[in-house]
């Protein structure tokens, strides 16, 4: 597969997001269904997720830089990034509106926080998938 | 002659051949983009900005319309 450094970077970010935040959301979902509703109980799991995201990103980018030329992003990379962002950011917006409505309805803080995290996860994952589609299919 | 996703046709492959079989990497370095972007332009998967189009034409020492042609799609 003929991929630029920027495209490899998108793949690495997607992987770190799915493993880190995706993994966290699975664990948090299990905790919530088992009746854990105190926000501090989620903090250590979230900390592990953040560390995983950082480690995968750093290791992945180092490996990608060693394996191929670490070219700077050019106009095509920027355009693909902007296009993907403009087509995926509404998901996060929807999550924020949902969180505001949930707060008005006095839904528990732990649910509101996770609604925001889910919308952030979906928005970022959609952005990265759309970038990969544009890289592969052309724009 | 490359022709596919966009309505911009180009002669980059032919011009590279006539310039000592210039590689995509060499052209990319002269223009200031990545090799993958040159590959995408050449394959009709990306229409470059006007500035990059002029830079490519300048590398080959040809007017812009010798390198890129706009194709009107018939209905």
Q: Identify the pLDDT of residue A72.
A: 87
Q: What is the pLDDT of residue B6?
A: 61
Write down the pLDDT at residue A89.
96
Q: Give the pLDDT band (50/70/90) at residue A98.
A: very high
A1: contact with B, CB 8 A cutoff: no
Q: Shortest CA distance to B66 belongs to which of B15, B7, B23, B25?
A: B15
- Phi/psi of residue A138, nearest 5 degrees: 95, 155
**β-strand B68-70 against B8-10: which pairing, if any?**
antiparallel
d(CA A107, CA A105): 6
Measured between CB atoms, which of A71, A137, A138 is closest to B34?
A71
What residues make up the domain containing A113? 5-137
Contacts of B33 in chain A (CB under 8 A): 74-76
* Nearest partner of A70 among A31, A12, A137, A25, judged by Cα: A12
**Which pLDDT tens digit goes with each residue over B23-51?**
999 999 999 999 999 999 999 999 999 99
Instruction: Give the Cα-Cα-Cα angle B3, A3, B58 (nearest 5 degrees).
Output: 50
Q: Is the pLDDT of residue B4 over 70?
A: no
Query: Could you tell me if A139 and A83 are in contact, meaning their C-beta atoms sit under 8 angstroms apart?
Result: yes
Average pLDDT value over all residues in chain B: 90
> Which residues of chain A make contact with B6, given a CB cutoff of 8 A?
138
Q: Residue A94: enclosing H or E segment and its boundaries?
A: helix A75-104
Are B38 and B2 in contact, with CB atoms under 8 Å apart? no
Helical H segments across A105-139, by residue range = 109-137
Residues of A in contact with B48 (CB under 8 A): 75-76
**Amino acid B1: pLDDT:** 53
Q: Which two tokens stand for residue A66?
A: 């060693």
Six token digits for residue B10: 């180009």
| CA atoms of A139 and A83, how far apart (whole Å) | 10
Q: What is the mean pLDDT of chain A?
A: 94
Domain ranges within chain B, ordered by starting residue: 8-70
Q: What is the pLDDT of residue A64?
A: 93
Predicted local confidence at residue A2, as pLDDT: 79
The domain B8-70: what is its CATH number? 1.10.260.40
Q: Tokens for A40?
A: 């501090």
Counted domains in chain A: 1
- State whether A138 and B33 contact (CB < 8 Å): no
- CB-count burial class (<10 Å; 0-12, 13-18, 19+) for A25: middle
Contact A77 B49 (CB under 8 A): no
**Contact of B62 with B10, CB cutoff 8 Å:** no
What per-residue confidence (pLDDT) applies to B20?
Answer: 93
């Amino acid at each position: 597969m003929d991929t630029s450094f920027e495209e490899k970077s998108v793949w690495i970010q997607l992987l770190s997001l799915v493993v880190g935040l995706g993994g966290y959301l699975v664990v948090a979902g299990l905790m919530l269904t088992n009746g854990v509703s105190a926000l501090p109980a989620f903090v250590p799991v979230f900390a592990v997720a953040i560390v995983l995201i950082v480690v995968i990103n750093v290791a992945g980018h180092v490996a990608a830089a060693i394996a191929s030329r670490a070219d700077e992003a050019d106009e095509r990379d920027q355009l693909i990034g902007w296009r993907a962002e403009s087509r995926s950011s509404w998901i996060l917006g929807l999550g924020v509106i949902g969180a505001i409505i949930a707060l008005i309805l006095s839904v528990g803080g732990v649910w509101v926080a996770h609604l925001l995290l889910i919308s952030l996860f979906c928005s970022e994952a959609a952005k990265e998938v759309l970038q990969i589609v544009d890289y592969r299919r052309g724009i | 002659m490359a022709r596919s996703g966009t309505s911009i046709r180009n002669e980059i492959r032919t011009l590279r051949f006539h310039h000592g079989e210039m590689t995509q990497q060499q052209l990319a370095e002269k223009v200031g983009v990545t090799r993958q972007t040159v590959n995408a332009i050449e394959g009709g998967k990306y229409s470059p900005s006007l500035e990059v189009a002029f830079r490519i034409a300048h590398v080959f020492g040809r007017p812009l319309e010798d390198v890129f042609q706009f194709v009107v799609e018939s209905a």
